[in-house]
Amino acid sequence: MQKNIKEDKLICFWLKLIIRGENIDFKRLTNLLGICPTDTYKWNGTKNEEPLDAWYYRIKIESTEQLEALSLKFFDTISVVRKLKNDHNYKPEIVFCIHSDMAQIYFDLPKSIIKYLEKLEIPIAFSILSWGMVEDRND
């Protein structure tokens, strides 16, 4: 039986490729990668922000059983980001995001995902937010 992530009390799990840079030509970058972004952000001159534009490609994962397969498919799709390896105008990053109602979140990455991430050679970040109450346990 497939477990829905919401049934696991996870509100959201997604993977994002973020490419940041100064004055990004979004159309050129999209054509270079052959991937349509799910979102873009053009820096608007706010002093509190780093002056970088951002190009995003994101997928949402709906069930725990899909985690490994969809992650590997995502990495296959974004593997073209290696074309940017020597272009210092672009700063790519992969972000794993989990938002949960639970206080304690356990998350592991299968070896297949770790091996693939190593091949991509781009920075990885984790964004884990929990709004749950911490259980008082005497373990």
Counting residues of the chain whose pLDDT is more than 90, the rounded percentage is 30
- Domain coordinates in residue numbering, the chain: 10-97+114-130
For 38-63, the pLDDT digits (tens) are 999 998 877 767 779 999 999 998 77
Is the pLDDT reported for residue 137 higher than 60?
A: no
Give the tens place of pLDDT for each residue, 83-134: 887 787 899 999 998 877 776 777 778 898 889 888 888 899 998 887 766 5
The helix, strand and coil proportions of the chain, stated in percent and rounded to the nearest 5, come to: 30, 30, 40
Q: Among all chains, which residue has been given the structure tokens 């997928």?
A: 59
Residue that the structure tokens 């996870």 belong to: 10
Q: What is the pTM of this model?
A: 0.78
The residues, any chain, with a CB within 8 Å of residue 76's CB and separated by 6 or more, are none
Residue type for position 15: L
